[in-house]
Amino acid sequence: MLVRLIKMKQVLLTALLAMSMLLAAQVQAHGGLALADDMCILTIGPYRMHFTGYQPLSQEEEFCEDIPEVGKTVIALDYIQEELRPLTTEVRIIRDTGSEENLDEITVYHLPPKIYPSASITVEHVFPEKGKFVGLVTVTGGAQDYVSRFPFSVGEGRPVSKIAIIVPIVVLIAGAAAFMMMRKRKT
């Protein structure tokens, strides 16, 4: 009986440890976008921009990568480095067809190259249908041209958090272990 109890505790602790390791990741990359210190950072060569997206008509929360619903979407790109202010920035959203040969044909949104001395760019676009897309942010005018390419999807809903999946599993395992221990005590 004592041996079984020890084995059950070991299994439960191993399961809890494995699940906690799933929650340990703090940085998730998505092309040129990464989540770092609760900020979405877009990397373009040596430069970085803060990325914030939201859908004013359907969502109250901001998003960093995939766009949860179709409809009006607002994306704000804020320069992190002052060196970006005199450079030209272009923003383009294209359908993800696997090829970028005919860019004009697959472009769904284009913000022409421009200097943004305010260090802030606002993109407003209505996505009428679900799909896979690629964001292209191009910075020119410095020693070299840089392009950040980040794939994303539209209309796949909010991703389910790892906690929402793991907590019920842990509760179920703990409940099953407690039930088995109580049952063993009675016999």
Residue 21 pLDDT grade (very low, low, confident, very high; cuts 50, 70, 90): very low
pLDDT at 129 over 50: yes
Cα separation, 87 vs 61, in Å, equals 31
Read off the pLDDT band of 63 (50, 70, 90): confident
Q: What end-to-end distance do the CA atoms of the chain give, in Å?
A: 10
DSSP for residue 143: S
- In terms of average pLDDT, the best of 16-30, 37-51, 107-121 is 107-121
Separation of alpha carbons 169 and 93, rounded Å: 39
Q: Is pLDDT at 36 greater than 70 in this prediction?
A: no
Cα 183 to chain center, whole Å?
45
Q: Does the predicted model carry a pTM greater than 0.75?
A: no
Which residues does residue 47 pair with via DSSP β-bridges, in sequence order?
A: 44
Which tokens is 79 given? Answer: 């320069």
Quick check: 166 pLDDT over 80? no
Of residues 174 and 106, the one with the higher pLDDT is 106
CA nearest to 155, candidates 183, 132, 121: 132
For the chain, the average pLDDT equals 80
Greater confidence, 171 or 74? 74
Domains for the chain: give ranges and CATH numbers.
33-154 (2.60.40.1930)
